[in-house]
Amino acid sequence: MLKSIIETIRDTLRSEMTRDERVFILGEDVGVLGGVFRATEGLYNEFGPERVIDAPISELAIIGVAIGAAGVGLRPIAEIEFADFIHSAFDQIVSDAAKLRYRTNGDWTCPMVIRTPYGGGIHGALYHSQSIEATYAHFPGLKIVAPATPYDAKGLLRAAIADPDPVLYLEHKKTYRSIKGEVPDEDYIVPIGKAQVKRAGSDLSIFAYGMMLHEALAAAEILERQDIHAEVVDLRSLLPIDWETIFESVRKTNRALIVHEDTYTMGLGAEIGARIAEQAFLDLDAPIMRVTGPDLPGVPFNEIGEKTFLPNAQKIADAAQRLAAF
């Protein structure tokens, strides 16, 4: 069935709540309103206020309650209304949820999902456009996924709910209604920690995730018309990262281009580039390149500024042309 990403997330939440009574949702405006993006629309009426809980405007409280619920055997799905506000719960996430298995030597786990919309492109400006993945990928004990397609949105959400450890489930808000795809009715899982080659190529590898995957695929179409054959890899899982798929692609094409809309310095691309240099340096025929957002405090509100900040297909294609010319 053809679905948008927001429809897929809503339907998957409904299905998992029907399947397992331990699953419940909490967050700001998730109940009566159905979420600011309507990801939980209708679930309050179906499952009631005890399983779709409108929380106070306190990210710290939302995550703290979810950690406690996970500790006593429930399966909480905590929604942070915008990723920009997740830092209010930073200590709970990285000091408690991420470390619970380690500090108890495996006696306790923390099976919870943190859903949050991230990224720019919808005129959200500084406080509704941030990409926070690199900050949280620094902490072992967490898992982070960033689906770019409806198929992966379902499969990764089901995997996240079933996982015994905390999973940060990142939803690029620009993909919610703009990206549609076939979603099977039957149950399936997309394993956390597995990337996917979305387009095979021989001249260079482009690594991306979230909305940037679609920009990378569009760039590959531009490059194809210039007889440059780009391989596009959807990382999907950002912690853990599927290093083997990355290295295999680099060994095939001998060139690496990493794309993300987070800032250039200390973005996820820095770690990916470093690992490629360590593990596949002799396979490279050109320097590792990145196309990212600039090192600015935030995404501008105005349309010209926002477009200037964000990577797009043409920027990626231009960088790929330079890379292929080495």
Indicate if 128 belongs to the active site. Answer: yes
Which entry of 87, 123, 128, 172 is annotated as an active-site residue? 128
DSSP 242-300: -HHHHHHHHHHHS-EEEEEEEESTTSHHHHHHHHHHHHHGGG-SS--EEEEE-S-SS--
Number of neighbouring beta carbons within 10 Å of residue 126: 14
Q: Which residues contact 66 (CB under 8 A, 6 or more apart)?
A: 26, 76, 77, 78, 97, 112, 114
| List of E strands, the chain | 2-4, 23-27, 52-54, 75-79, 113-118, 143-145, 167-172, 180-182, 196-199, 204-208, 230-234, 237-239, 256-263, 289-293
Of the candidates 256, 245, 261, which has an alpha carbon nearest to the alpha carbon of residue 323? 256
Packing angle of the helix pair 268-280, 243-253 (nearest 10 deg): 60
The set of catalytic residues is: 128
